[in-house]
Structure 1
Amino acid sequence: MALLLVLASIIFIILAYKLYQRLRFKLPPGPRPWPIVGNLYDIKPVRFRCFAEWAQAYGPIISVWFGSTVNVIVSNTELAKQVLKENDQQLADRHRSRSAAKFSRDGQDLIWADYGPHYVKVRKVCTLELFSPRRLEALRPIREDEVTAMVESIFKDCTQNDGRSVVVRKYLGAVAFNNITRLAFGKRFENSEGVIDEEGQEFKAIVSNGLKLGASLAMAEHIPWLRWMFPLEEEAFAKHGARRDRLTRAIMEEHTLAREKSGGAKQHFVDALLTLQEKYDLSEDTIIGLLWDMITAGMDTTAITVEWTMAELIKNPRVQQKAQEELDRVIGFERVLTESDFSNLPYLQSVAKEGLRLHPPTPLMLPHRANANVKIGGYDIPKGSNVHVNVWAIARDPAVWKDPLEFRPERFFEEDVDMKGHDYRLLPFGAGRRVCPGAQLGINLVTSMLGHLLHHFTWTPPEGVKPEEIDMSENPGLVTYMRKPIQGVPIPRLPSQLYKRVAVDM
């Protein structure tokens, strides 16, 4: 009986608080929330599509209740500008779930840090040191090496399988995995035969386990009074953290010893952070957090973007042919593409940009948490609310894009559109104080992967599949893979000697 009274009291308090917020603040419109759970059971699995549908019914700014927390979603350019520029400082904090708080040591990294002195410091490290043009150029041989390894692997498979189709994601995932581990840790865990060594297997297991733990408490995160029923598995998180730290510290120690032996540091991010530790007063937790930020942010997003863009190119042979004509004219048939060629390949750059427009890898930005009461679009956003920008919906808004659902890179010749946070129509990397510091690195890798795939091969749908039959639906999730991995038939178009990887040891 006492337990029932306690539960009833909690429910009453929550309902009273919700009513208080509705009466005190002029919240944006939205679907009517249910008691306790809010709109959690109304949200469809692919959230950004669901929120875009609700925006059609309620307007470009809506309120959606995740349990007892109000979440505001904006879906047009003007409102995105209000969130990311005009009220940027008041909306620059982060909502951290219990799992995110554990993984980030309560925001000691960059991604999950609230806006303040710590965030400003680590942001400065990333902008001025880790992702500086000088360092990106120094690490270019790694990126180009991994992309040519991808080409060699595809060529080997397509010449052995008699013209059958291949699953493109397999090769993109290998590039993303090897590239990010080499950039961050200076280690290639996979050998030339595609076999991952023991340390690499441990690395992948840690990544997989982290995703599993992060997704295990979704409902309890949104309904605080239910948390006693779904307690945080402290032991599981502690074991995961210790496992992750053990691997990372071992790699850090390797680099420290190598640096002492050689008398100098290499350009890898782990070397840079260890060298800069004293200068910027970086704790070990922050160094580990930054390294894993780069891994989680960089491993999936490039592969996702290239897979979606390749699907569009297989569906649109006209665009594929036009990109190949440019590559043949600039690069020719006697050498391979390098990043120094990008400035002479405007159409290829537009293909990459159009892929990021139609298929942003994080279609809903990570939520911005209000650290003060603000107004957006004439509505109140109470302190503690979460604000999401529906990048996917904005990039398909017919009010700002002509024929928004058409894959047409030529649109970027008709009008110059920045995609690194200065034009609020195209926001694959965010904008404002929390814009992605690694945007240029991501753009370079995506462009390079697409350029090599198109220069080395012509891509057609699998036998019996028409372009219009390709499944372009999304998997649910924070980052959005194709629900059905794209398959294509790669047809080599260059001399065979240009398909061999020349390994780079860095």
Structure 2
Amino acid sequence: MALPLLPISIILIFLAYKLYQRLRFKLPPGPSPLPVVGNLYDVKPVRFRCFAEWAQVYGPIFSVYFGSQLNIVVNNSELAKEVLKENDQQLADRYRTRSSAKFSRDGKDLIWADYGPHYVKVRKVCNIELFSPKRLESLRPIREDEVSAMVESIFKDSTNPDNGGKGLMMRNYLGSVAFNNITRLTFGKRFMNSEGVIDEQGQEFKGIVSNGIKIGAKLSMAEHIPWLRWMFIVENDTLAQHAARRDRLTRIIMEEHTLARNKSGGAKQHFVDALLTLQKQYDLSDDTVIGLLWDMITAGMDTTTISVEWAMGELVKNPRVQQKAQEELDRVIGTDRVMSETDFSNLPYLQCVAKEALRLHPPTPLMLPHKANANVKIGGYDIPKESIVHVNVWAIARDPKVWKNPLEFRPERFLEEDVDMKGHDYRLLPFGAGRRVCPGAQLAINLVTSMLGHLLHHFSWEPPQGVKPEDIDMVENPGTVTYMRSPLQAVAKPRLPAHLYKRVAVDI
């Protein structure tokens, strides 16, 4: 008799808890949750689009339950400012899934750390030591080298007679830049040779990254219904094995750098050397060093590829914008040299193209979830302690109340009005804002702008034969980060003298 009563008891407890919350707090409106599962079956796979639709029904702030966990979603810039500025300290903690908790050692890194002394210390290390203008400039040759390698590869494939004018799969080229750039910046290693062959250690690294993405994408029901977690012992073992594999490779690379540094008596500018040199000064544990290195990898690899692929999709769809950007590049750079990051200040329209792409297609459209460490009010509603708060960056950047013709890809809007995108203007938040704004925003902007500039200066782009620009699929894949559902294919036509497509490798 006891077993049949268990589900009924659980449902009654859930309903009593929801009634308690409703009576004690003035919660934002939202869809009615079912017992135990909440609104899990109502949420569509592409969550930020689903939430934007719900905002039309329930208003710009609403409640949604993932299991028994209360989530608050805000969908306009005014509410985003309340979350990320006016109540920033109370909403600066992180909600950690089992995978993020395991890989971050319960928040000993930066991305998944709760706000407090540890977060402040590690954030200081990132701002002062890892992402300072001096260090970013010292690592510029790496970024430019990898972009030039991409250009050389595209030129080789696009001029291959066997290609026959077929479209190139853009994600392959962009992914190689992101992979090589982040491994060189972080570990000082280029695992991939000039022929695109990855060495044994690189294969292990790539396997770890790929496996981590798969694990993150397979969030089970147990993530949202804690009392079911005992049923998923196999998943817990998978998390432990992946964490051990990741840490083993990272410690091998750290040891290699320690030996090389002791032998040479100095340190290069790569992040692993910087962190190992600063470890005692800032009292950083090995867990924190490893966590920070993987923060750089996870934050810097997919997002760059995603941002440039979306931008190129828009440029292929909008030949007017492509031509205008190329006219600026030809006027400033000419046709007898290649672009450098030092040219950015003279290329305002190119910068606007990058900004407009990040507006329409933010790589993390829901931002990473914040968690309330105290009861606060947002938009006149109560946000109870332990609630998870999501900022729908995608919806905010398409709000017709603050953007004229928001669905149009029109970089000129940023020539008409200077809009900051590093956390000071809440209409445009591709890198977040407040205490949790991305410390590597400038690095990301530099790389995205450089990749776009080289792609546009070296090549003209059009759809594959038989495909109209308006037929390019501009729908997102589900996930925390949003790849194009259909990988972009485009035809590249060289515009510059052949000798400007040759990569000159640098070692730093």
TM-score by length of 2: 0.98
**Structure 1 residue aligned with 2:14:** 14
> Does residue 103 in structure 1 map to residue 103 in structure 2?
yes
Counterpart of 1:157 in structure 2 is 157
Aligned: 1:395 with 2:397: yes
Distance 1:471 1:407 in 2: 15
Between 1:221-230 and 1:305-314, the stretch displaced more is 221-230
Equivalent-residue separation in structure 1 for 2:427 and 2:196 (angstroms):
40
Letter of the structure 2 residue corresponding to residue 128 of structure 1: I
Shift of 1:300: 0.3
Map 1:233-272 to 2 at 5 A: 233-272=235-274
Which has the larger displacement, 466-475 or 425-434? 466-475
Amino acid at match of 1:19: L
**1:504 and 1:470 mapped to 2: Cα distance?**
37
Q: Does 1:89 align with 2:89?
A: yes
Q: Is 2:69 the partner of 1:55?
A: no
Please state whether the residue corresponding to 1:96 is helix, strand or coil.
coil
Unaligned runs of 5+ residues in structure 2 are none
Structure 1 contact 163–491 (Cα < 8 Å) conserved: no
Is the Cα contact below 8 Å between 1:312 and 1:407 reproduced in 2? yes
Conserved in 2, the CA contact under 8 Å of 1:77 and 1:424?
Answer: yes
Secondary structure of the structure 1 residue equivalent to 2:490: strand
Which residue of structure 1 aligns with residue 131 of structure 2? 131
1:27 has 2:35 as partner = no
Give, in whole Å, the separation in 2 of the partners of 1:3 and 1:134: 65
Q: Within 1, Cα distance between the matches of 2:407 and 2:202?
A: 40
Offset of 1:214 from its aligned partner?
2.7
Partner of 2:488: 486
Residue 478 (structure 2) aligns with: 476
What CA distance in whole angstroms lies between the structure 2 residues aligned with 1:278 and 1:454?
45
Deviation per residue, 1:342-381 (Å, 9 max, x gap): 0000000000000000000000011110000000000000
Q: Would you say how many aligned residue pairs link Structure 1 and Structure 2?
A: 506
Residues 141 and 504 in structure 1, CA contact (< 8 A), matched pair in contact too: yes
Provide the C-alpha distance between the structure 2 equivalents of 1:369 and 1:464, rounded to a whole number of angstroms: 49
User: Which residues in structure 2 correspond to 1:265-304 (within 5 Å)?
Assistant: 265-304=267-306
Residues of 2 paired with 1:232 and 1:89: CA distance? 37
Which residue is 2:364 aligned to?
A: 362
How many Å apart are 1:98 and its aligned residue? 1.2
Kindly, what percent of the aligned residue pairs are identical? Answer: 81
> Would you say the 8 A contact 1:145–1:504 is kept in 2?
yes
Q: Is the 8 A contact 2:217 2:479 kept in 1?
A: no
Q: What's the CA shift for 1:43?
A: 0.5
Question: CA contact under 8 A between 2:165 and 2:464: conserved in structure 1?
Answer: no
CA contact (8 A) 1:364 1:391 kept: yes
Q: Greater CA deviation, 461-470 or 441-450?
A: 461-470
Kindly provide the CA deviation profile for residues 222-242 of structure 1, in whole angstroms up to 9, marking residues without a partner as x.
112222333363332222122
CA offsets 1:89-142 (integer angstroms, 9 cap, x no match):
000000011111101000000000000000000000000100000000000000
Name which of 454, 457, 467 aligns with 1:455: 457
Q: Distance in 1 between matches of 2:502 and 2:426?
A: 41
What is the one-letter code of the residue matched to 1:153?
S
Q: Answer yes or no: is the 8 Å Cα contact 1:313–1:319 preserved in 2.
A: yes
The farther-off stretch of 243-252 and 210-219 is 210-219
Q: Deviations over 1:73-98 (max 9, x none)?
A: 00101000000000000000000111
Find out whether 1:344 has 2:329 as its counterpart.
no
Secondary structure of 2:250's partner?
helix
Where do 1:108-257 residues align within 5 Å? 108-160=108-160, 161-231=163-233, 233-257=235-259
Aligned partner of 1:502 in structure 2 is: 504
Q: Secondary structure at the match of 1:281?
A: coil
What secondary structure does 1:233 align onto? helix
Task: Please give the alpha-carbon distance, in whole angstroms, between the structure 2 residues aligned to 1:29 and 1:9.
Answer: 26
Distance 2:415 2:502 in 1: 34
Structure-1 separation of matches of 2:331 and 2:231: 64
- In structure 2, the residue matched to 1:75 is 75
The amino acid that maps onto 2:130 is L
Deviation digits for residues 148-197 of structure 1 (CA, Å, limit 9, x no counterpart) = 00000000000111322111111000000000000000000000000011
- Alpha-carbon distance between aligned partners in 2 of 1:473 and 1:212, rounded to the nearest angstrom: 21
What is the aligned-residue RMSD (CA, Å)? 1.0
Contact kept, 8 Å, 1:217 with 1:230, in 2: the verdict is no
SS of the equivalent of 1:278 reads: coil
Higher deviation after alignment, 277-286 or 241-250: 241-250
Contact residue 165 and residue 465 of structure 2 kept, 8 A: no
Write the distance in 2 (CA, Å) between the matches of 1:291 and 1:230.
Answer: 29
Distance 2:217 2:329 in 1: 43
Q: 2:36 corresponds to which residue?
A: 36
Shift of 1:9: 2.3
Given residue 308 of structure 1, which amino acid in structure 2 is its aligned partner? Answer: W
Q: What SS does the corresponding residue of 2:233 show, helix, strand or coil?
A: coil
When residues 366 and 469 of structure 1 are mapped into structure 2, their CA distance, relative to the original with a 3 A threshold, is: same
Contact 1:109 1:293 in 2 (8 A): yes
Q: Is the 8 A contact 2:10 2:36 kept in 1?
A: no
Letter in 2 for 1:50: C
CA distance in 2, matches of 1:485, 1:10: 45
| 1:215 positional shift | 3.2
CA shift, 1:5, in A, is 2.9
- The equivalent residue for 1:406 is 408
* Residue type of the alignment partner of 2:278: L
Q: Work out the CA distance in 2 between the residues paired with 1:287 and 1:459.
A: 42
Equivalent AA in structure 1 for residue 201 of structure 2: E
Q: Distance in 2 between matches of 1:103 and 1:346?
A: 40
Q: Name 1:429's counterpart in structure 2.
A: 431
**Distance (whole Å) between structure 2 residues aligned to residue 55 and residue 235 of structure 1:** 39
- Any conservation in 2 of the 1:10–1:225 contact (CA below 8 Å)? no
Counterpart amino acid of 2:149? A
Summarize deviations over 1:380-422 as a string: whole Å, max 9, x none.
Answer: 0000000000000000001000110000000001101000000
Of residues 120-129 and 28-37 in structure 1, the stretch that sits farther from structure 2 once superposed is: 28-37
- In structure 2, the residue corresponding to 1:62 is in which secondary structure? strand
3-state secondary structure, aligned to 1:286 = helix
Q: 1:239 aligns to what SS in structure 2?
A: helix
Taking the aligned partners of 1:359 and 1:212, their CA distance within structure 2 comes to: 22
Counterpart contact for 1:361–1:480, Cα < 8 Å: yes
**Amino acid paired to 1:66:** F
Match of 1:484, SS?
coil
